[in-house]
Structure 1
Amino acid sequence: MKTSHRLLGAGHVETFPPPTAAMHMSNPLSKLAIDRTASPPPRRRKRRWLIILIVLLVLALLLGLSRSGRSTEVSTAKVVQAWPSAAISQLTATGYVVPQKKAAIASKATGRMEWLGVREGSKVKEGEVIARLERAEQEAQLAQAVANVEAAKARLRQSEADAIEAERSYRRSTELLAQGFIANSAHDNAISRTQQATAVVGAQRAAVKQAEAAVTQAKVALDNTYIRAPFSGVVLTKTANVGDVISPFNTSVDSKGAVVSMADMETLEVETDVSESSLFKAKQGQACEIQLDALPDLRFLGTVNSVVPSVDRSKATVTFKIGFSERDPRVLPEMSAKVSFLSRPLSASERSPRLAVSPKAVQEGAVFVVREGKAHRTPVQTGQSLGELLEVRQGLKLDDTVVLDPGPLKDGAAVVEKKP
Structure 2
Amino acid sequence: MNDINLEKLRVNRGAHAAPKKRRSSNTRTWIIAGATLAIIVYALLPKPTAIQATQVVSAWPSQQYQVLNATGYVVAQRKAAVAPKGTGRVEWIGVSEGDVVKEGVVLARLESRDVAASYQAASANRQVAEAAVTSAENEMQDADRNLDRTTLLFNKRLLSVLNLQDAKSRKARVAASLKSSQASLAAARANEQLAKTNLDSTQMVAPFDGTVLSRSANVGDIVTPLASAADAKGAVLLIADLNSLEVDADVSESSLAQIKMGQPCEIVLDAYPDRRYRAEVRIIAPTVNRASATVTAKVRFLDRDPDVLPDMSARVAFLSQAVNADQQKPVMAVSPTAIVEGEGGSHVFQIGADGRAHAVAVQVGAVLGGVRAVSGNLKVGDALVLAPGSKMSDGDRIKLADAP
Displacement of 1:121 in angstroms is 0.8
Displacement of 1:309 in angstroms is 2.0
**Where does residue 376 of structure 2 map in the other structure?**
394
Residues in 2 aligned to 1:104 and 1:81: alpha-carbon distance in whole angstroms: 42
> Is it true that 1:264 corresponds to 2:241 in the alignment?
yes
> Is it true that 1:413 corresponds to 2:404 in the alignment?
no
Displacement of 1:318 in angstroms is 2.0
| Shift in CA distance, 127/172, structure 1 to aligned 2, threshold 3 Å | closer
Query: CA contact under 8 A between 2:60 and 2:329: conserved in structure 1?
Result: yes
Q: Pairwise mapping of residues 19-418 of structure 1 onto structure 2 (< 5 A)?
A: 62=39, 65=42, 74-164=51-141, 166-167=143-144, 170=147, 175=153, 179=157, 184=162, 188-364=165-341, 365-372=346-353, 374-381=355-362, 382-407=364-389, 411-416=395-400, 418=402
**Where does residue 36 of structure 1 map in the other structure?**
none
Q: Pairwise mapping of residues 5-24 of structure 1 onto structure 2 (< 5 A)?
A: none
Instruction: Give the aligned residue type for 1:282.
Output: I
| Shift in CA distance, 311/169, structure 1 to aligned 2, threshold 3 Å | same
Residues in 1 aligned to 2:146 and 2:368: alpha-carbon distance in whole angstroms: 104
Displacement of 1:353 in angstroms is 0.8
Query: CA contact under 8 A between 1:94 and 1:339: conserved in structure 2?
Result: yes
Structure 1: gaps spanning 5 or more residues? 1-54
| Rg comparison, structure with higher value | 1
Residues in 1 aligned to 2:83 and 2:44: alpha-carbon distance in whole angstroms: 79
**Where does residue 8 of structure 1 map in the other structure?**
none
**Where does residue 39 of structure 1 map in the other structure?**
none
| Shift in CA distance, 206/359, structure 1 to aligned 2, threshold 3 Å | same
Query: CA contact under 8 A between 2:335 and 2:372: conserved in structure 1?
Result: yes
Query: CA contact under 8 A between 1:235 and 1:263: conserved in structure 2?
Result: yes
Query: CA contact under 8 A between 1:380 and 1:396: conserved in structure 2?
Result: no
Query: CA contact under 8 A between 2:289 and 2:295: conserved in structure 1?
Result: yes
Displacement of 1:96 in angstroms is 1.2
| Shift in CA distance, 193/371, structure 1 to aligned 2, threshold 3 Å | same
**3-state DSSP of counterpart to 2:378:** coil
**3-state DSSP of counterpart to 2:98:** coil
Residues in 2 aligned to 1:157 and 1:351: alpha-carbon distance in whole angstroms: 75
% identical equivalent positions: 40
| Shift in CA distance, 342/163, structure 1 to aligned 2, threshold 3 Å | closer
Residues in 2 aligned to 1:374 and 1:338: alpha-carbon distance in whole angstroms: 39
Displacement of 1:349 in angstroms is 2.8
Residues in 2 aligned to 1:228 and 1:417: alpha-carbon distance in whole angstroms: 69
**Where does residue 46 of structure 1 map in the other structure?**
none
Residues in 2 aligned to 1:178 and 1:387: alpha-carbon distance in whole angstroms: 111
Cα RMSD for the two superposed structures:
3.0
Residues in 1 aligned to 2:356 and 2:77: alpha-carbon distance in whole angstroms: 54
Residues in 1 aligned to 2:213 and 2:40: alpha-carbon distance in whole angstroms: 72
Residues in 2 aligned to 1:362 and 1:403: alpha-carbon distance in whole angstroms: 9
Residues in 2 aligned to 1:326 and 1:318: alpha-carbon distance in whole angstroms: 25
**Where does residue 17 of structure 2 map in the other structure?**
none
TM-score, with normalisation over the residues of structure 2?
A: 0.81
Aligned length: 364
| Shift in CA distance, 366/176, structure 1 to aligned 2, threshold 3 Å | closer
The superposition leaves residues 375-408 of structure 1 with CA deviations (integer Å, 9 ceiling, x where unpaired) of 3222332222111011121132111011223345
| Shift in CA distance, 91/157, structure 1 to aligned 2, threshold 3 Å | closer
Displacement of 1:65 in angstroms is 3.9
Displacement of 1:414 in angstroms is 4.4
Residues in 2 aligned to 1:279 and 1:324: alpha-carbon distance in whole angstroms: 21
Structure 2: gaps spanning 5 or more residues? 1-31
**3-state DSSP of counterpart to 2:243:** helix
